[in-house]
A and B are shown apart, each in its own frame.
Chain A
């Protein structure tokens, strides 16, 4: 479904992604872990073309995203959930959700409202449909943001540290929603510092360090049987903490 070959990205003189190679298959729940500043978020942002790669290939369903075209059709099929939620501040919860499908004329307004209502009811947030984001808690905001992505029926969703900006008691409501979506068969890539969540939830885990993917395997392999020294060091630091 998604294949990344020799991906490179630098900001000025600083090279953040040196040579990334990664394959994601349909239904995969891939966790990306690694020390701060190793390029995890940049990798996600490159996949969604929020950052323009300097070289390599990102092949999504036979379409190479690394060229100068806008790939606007393809981007619609790649969802993204941000650490800071990024709900549209001037729209209500409902407007936030129906904005993209109605603006892009993918759904009629009535159908979009119906679908949004349905999705909001499933996560018990329908009461807040006409409230503005500033009236919501962090956990509620992030769940609305996930719904907003879901209504576009993406093939894959990228989660960029979805729980890092949340108070601890709200993390559960967001991870529960992610679990629910995963059960429906969604393909996901998750960058997170929640090691327990990654360990229990992801089918595969990639360890990034210094702009490259150092080690990759099933969750069990990575957490219980790490091979490279950097990963061992990283995990021991986290366990001590």
Chain B
């Protein structure tokens, strides 16, 4: 047995050695074709091709991290990623935070309007509503130069286009190249561009070694015409919408085509994994918090732990969970490269612990004070009464509430997408970014969430009934 273990370990070491290469971590937001998008379950695109060349040049292994666009600068600043590329345009503001490489592409910010509208340029759009991608060049430009335009900031280009489709906005301002892919035949791109800007990759300030390498690679690729070639390839690859727009085709495109169900499976796995892991951590922390407070209230012992528990519960319950998740990821695990799903489990577990603490506390205080007194009057101590009299009775109130907490957690995990966890909601987002249709992926994911929570609710109900029966 021992020998086998040694053999396995040495084998493991060997394989890890042979593939051991330093990593170049790229932060991007896949959902911006042709620069970065998902194909066959992988992130590809012009930016990725360039980044691969840089990694090759440095003899490193490229690792791609899919995060929210507005988190990319932070990723690079905190050294969680080495380089950022997502069609990021050069701005003064951004260049104060990070260093830009030479630009690899010039993009024109254009205006998209409905065909049947009378708009001919930005002058006509005074006092109207325009959708942009949050944090994009269009966003900054409009906010700075056109104060009397109402800007709707969407997380995705696709959502901005959807707004125009639904007549929620009068126009969309975005990059020309993705725009050509995204518009349908009811829309038109106005001839006059709003502003031209150039895309560069970003690296952490003072990381001159990487900056110089990236500049060298990009310049060479530009000169040799490689980047234009990438652009054509990826725009060609883009032609995958089936001509027919029947529901069946849409469903096929959403699930089967390009093995997109893999995103859903991956999302489902992560959603359940995070919810389950978090509820276990939550029960652990919550029990400590609730019991230590109860011990202090009844015996005056564990004062410090009890005060800490109280502070923990109040702070967690008093701040948004999205914020907690981001603080844990960007502040606490700032310098460490840790599996993002584990970060999710920890963050949601810490969050859940505060609610579990209150569930347990409520369960304990639901037990009649007379039960404590009867125990004490028989000469039993606090811990005996707690363990043998109070908790066994409180459990029937606590367990169903814990079940509900788990159900809540399953839904809460959807904010994990903020830090790039591919859970169910992110999975639908990824698929939508490929099919240019939000409707089916969102409905599909909603159905999956519902099936999970509905079956869990049934289980909790059964549990509750069984407890009630056991008592009567």
Taking Cβ atoms with an 8 Å cutoff, the residues of A that contact B are 48-50, 70, 72-73, 75-80, 82, 84-90, 99-100, 103-104, 132, 134, 145, 148-149, 152
Contacts and interface: CB of A to CB of B under 8 A. Distances in A.
Contact of A99 (B370, B381, B388): B388
Interface string B448-472: 0000000000000000000000011
A79 B377 contact: yes
Contact of B377 (A50, A84, A134): A50
B371 A86 contact: yes
B374 interface: yes
B374 A76 contact: no
A82 B373 CA distance: 9
B379 A72 contact: yes
Given A82-B377, A152-B379, 14 more contacts: A50-B373, A50-B376, A70-B381, A76-B378, A79-B377, A80-B374, A84-B370, A85-B370, A89-B393, A100-B379, A103-B384, A104-B384, A132-B472, A152-B378
Interface in B168-192: none
Contacts, number: 68
A145 B378 CA distance: 11
Interface residues of B, number: 19
Nearest to A87: B374
B67 interface: no
A107 to B, nearest CB: 13
A89 B471 contact: yes
Contact of B379 (A50, A76, A89): A76
Nearest to A104: B379
Nearest to B381: A72
B389 interface: yes
Given A86-B373, A87-B374, A103 B380 contact: yes
A77 B377 CA distance: 9
A78 B371 CA distance: 17
B76 to A, nearest CB: 58
Contact of A75 (B368, B370, B379, B393): B379
B371 A89 contact: yes
A78 B380 CA distance: 12
B378 A148 contact: yes
B82 to A, nearest CB: 59
A149 B375 CA distance: 11
A49 to B, nearest CB: 8
Interface in B350-397: 368, 370-371, 373-381, 384, 388-389, 392-393
A50 B369 CA distance: 11
A82 B375 CA distance: 12
A100 B380 contact: yes
A68 to B, nearest CB: 9
Contacts of B384: 103-104
Nearest to A148: B378
